[in-house]
Amino acid sequence: MTEEKIELRDIQAAAIKILIAFVDVCQKNGLNYYISGGTYLGAVRHKGFIPWDDDVDVAMPRKDYNVFLEIANRQLPDNLRLVHYSNKEDIIHYPAKIEDDRYQLIDHTASIPRQVNLWIDIFPLDGLPDNRVLDKIHRFRLLALRALFKYSLFDRIVRQDNTDRPWYENIMIRIGKKVKFTKVLKPYKRMEALDRALSKYDFYESRFVMNFMGSYKWC
């Protein structure tokens, strides 16, 4: 643990080391993975990080993701640790993370800032049904489950003062401020329900796939 101020370039360099360790485990075990989101954009457009970006996003087909969850902590270097809600710790994010506990940061993404370890995100990739009716039903169910999950940790993961959102999300935030869902919704149970629903359609057998817990949900 260090108490020195960490510069952006140092965060990026440390995140790359985590990514290299992740790739090493995947390659040794024949697991498929992709860089995604801003990490992919940075690699293509900037040949590295987006200059102001400070995190790394990777994604794995669900089957590969589940295998990685089982083996990661046995094969990662000692300074790294896989964290996931299934460990039944005080985890407030659904996607898995690999953390390096030698570096601490302040996370300002929600209304309440938190001290966190430096990390990279690992998102599961899941399938969508080919049938249009089933697709709409599945999407609606996932959105409802995601909303309940967000409500279960409303003060800890939702940036309540951000109004640059679709109108329906602003309505949901106003509801969350008035109704104390955190008293009745258990985060672990909400993540379990979301996990079961997301896993319904196999990545490798689906024509259309998604990174639902990423920023853009259906991409």
The dihedral formed by the CA atoms of 32, 81, 77 and 67, expressed in degrees to the nearest 10? -30
Contacts of residue 198, defined as CB under 8 A and 6 or more positions apart, other chains included, come to 62, 124, 126, 142, 212, 213
Report whether 101 contacts 76 (CB < 8 A). no
Phi, psi (5° rounding) for residue 115?
-85, 130
pLDDT tens figures, 29-84:
999 999 998 888 888 888 888 888 878 999 999 999 999 999 999 999 999 999 99
Task: Work out the end-to-end distance of the chain between its first and last CA atoms, rounded to an integer number of angstroms.
Answer: 36
pTM: 0.88
Task: Name the band, by pLDDT with cuts 50, 70 and 90, for residue 3.
Answer: very low
